[in-house]
A and B are shown apart, each in its own frame.
Chain A
Amino acid sequence: MIRAERISKTFSRGTAMETPALRGLDLEIPAGQFVTVIGSNGAGKSTLLGALAGETIADEGRVLIDDIDVTNWPTFRRAALVARVFQDPLAGSCGALTIEENLSLAASRGKGRGLARAISKTSRDSFQSLLARLNLGLENRMRDKMELLSGGQRQAMSLLMATLKPMKILLLDEHTAALDPKTAGFVLDLTRQIVAEQKLTTLMVTHSMSQALAAGDRTVMLHQGRIILDVSGDERAGMTVQDLLDMFHRQRGEALDDDSALD
């Protein structure tokens, strides 16, 4: 289970550029749940993801993964618990390394790394069968440099790498946003498959409302660093994008009223 307890983060604190990104956000994700996160630019989606991944350390509040307080852990220390796919297809893998070397890096996620050979006969065989399931022919190109792959192929690889080793939560950061619609569909299908197969606890940030409703089993909307909408189960099942928008406008109106009441 993942818990973000009243986390706040303000960038450029104490300057004219001060921007509060998260304001006491609470979020609890039970094991096995697939949560999609939506919100406009500056709503705090990326900061929330960063706070869970370790790239952003929250100013206040706590981040708990299975009751381990990881609030102040740097990214590399959390890697055994948190896996991640970036928005930029080039960010999730090393272009200068070969496909099998990238997989080997991912296979050691969250483990100590010693002087043993990074790639052995057995690991090569297991990588090969793993790649075969993508149906991209990559199993025959294991010694090709990663930079030779297309954006979609690299994003599929990133997903494969992120889910190669067990983790407590999988973070997907608009991971289909940089792809063409067809490739985005392929990567999203692959995501659904892997998440269902391995019963992964997942948090997917997306800018597409329809995607947010179509994938996963709970949708959370962020606005000005807080959660203003949280739907799941039956309520979510029959929802359309228009319903979601209506709810958003209603909620935001109320939120504004609340704020003005405080002033």
Chain B
Amino acid sequence: MSMIALLGAVELGLLFALVAMGVFLSFRVLQFPDLTVDGSFPLGAAVAATLIVSGTDPYISTMLAAVAGALAGLVTAWLNVRLRILHLLASILVMIALYSVNLRIMGRPNVPLLGENTVFTPLEGLGLPSYILLPISLLVVVILAKLLLDRFLNSELGLAMRATGVNKRMAEAQGINTGRVTLLGMAISNAFVAFAGALFAQSQGAADVTLGVGVIVVGLAAVIGGEALISPKTLFRATLACIVGSILYRLAVAAALNADFIGLKAQDLNLITAVLVVLAMVLPGARNPLKAFLVTGRQK
């Protein structure tokens, strides 16, 4: 594998580490199986790309993309908390709706960003080629995001969120408004995902309405894989596992696609990912994030 391919894989891994942290928040912390992700990732890309093309500052565009993701998460949580629609179904409904919304936002299926100013443009003056600069700057962003998430989950509010996911009845008895906490958690989770989508569009040079296909599975693969390598005994390790899992997943994929003798091609990617996730879930000792829902058919 060439250096450029390797760093490209790391770059993608870092981008999807943000998705993995969002998925960690919904699936693990809130125990809310959220598929909105497949819609909020391209939503972030669509909002950022459309704003940038229309001349908005790329940093502001990226922030607004995260806000749009937060709104998408809010809608999913609201459907579940207030209208009592099953969480999985609520998230699928929002995911489907977002496909139309994304097309409306962009006005066409694809918005190229070639030649536009992006959040990465100021780094070009530093003299390093972009295939090195992008992973380094993303690493800084991802570490900052991880530390912020850790700090939040260790706050009084964050602790209330963790309690809501593990033991809703006890959380309410302790005075936690679990409905409101779920709304907040889902907003933050999808803000992470849309933020990743916005950065993805800017690093890859385009936003596309089909970007979101399978994002949730990749995010889950990163979370589960990371946990298999770094047992999430503490919060610090759990969020670290998201990052490590995501990068290693991308490296493994790149290696598999580069190894010609296996005969895998780029189009096999989603199939490989699905198989990997299934294996990670059924292998002994794996922590199946869906177990709680599959066994009882409802949230604990």
Contact = CB atoms under 8 A, between A and B. Distances in A.
Interface stretch (B89-97, B110-118, B164-172): B164-172
Given A91-B167, A91-B170, A94-B166, A118 B156 contact: yes
Given A105-B160, A115-B152, A118-B159, A80 B166 contact: no
Contacts of A108: 156, 160, 174-175
Interface residues of A, number: 34
Contact of B173 (A84, A96, A114, A117): A84
Nearest to A79: B175
A93 B156 contact: no
B158 interface: yes
Interface string A86-113: 1000011111110001001110111101
B288 interface: no
A76 B159 contact: no
A75 interface: yes
Contacts of B257: none
Interface in A104-159: 104-106, 108-111, 113-119
Contact of A115 (B157, B167, B174, B175): B157
A153 to B, nearest CB: 16
B170 A94 contact: yes
A113 B156 contact: yes
A105 B157 contact: no
Contact of B155 (A92, A96, A116, A161): A116
Q: Which of A91, A97, A105, A115 has the most CB of B within 10 A?
A: A105
A150 to B, nearest CB: 18
A108 B171 CA distance: 11
Interface in B123-155: 152, 154-155
B169 A105 contact: no
A94 B163 contact: yes
Contacts of A221: none
A118 B170 contact: no
B162 A96 contact: yes
A117 B177 contact: no
A107 B156 CA distance: 10
B276 interface: no
Given A105-B160, A105-B163, A113-B160, A79 B154 contact: no
A74 to B, nearest CB: 7
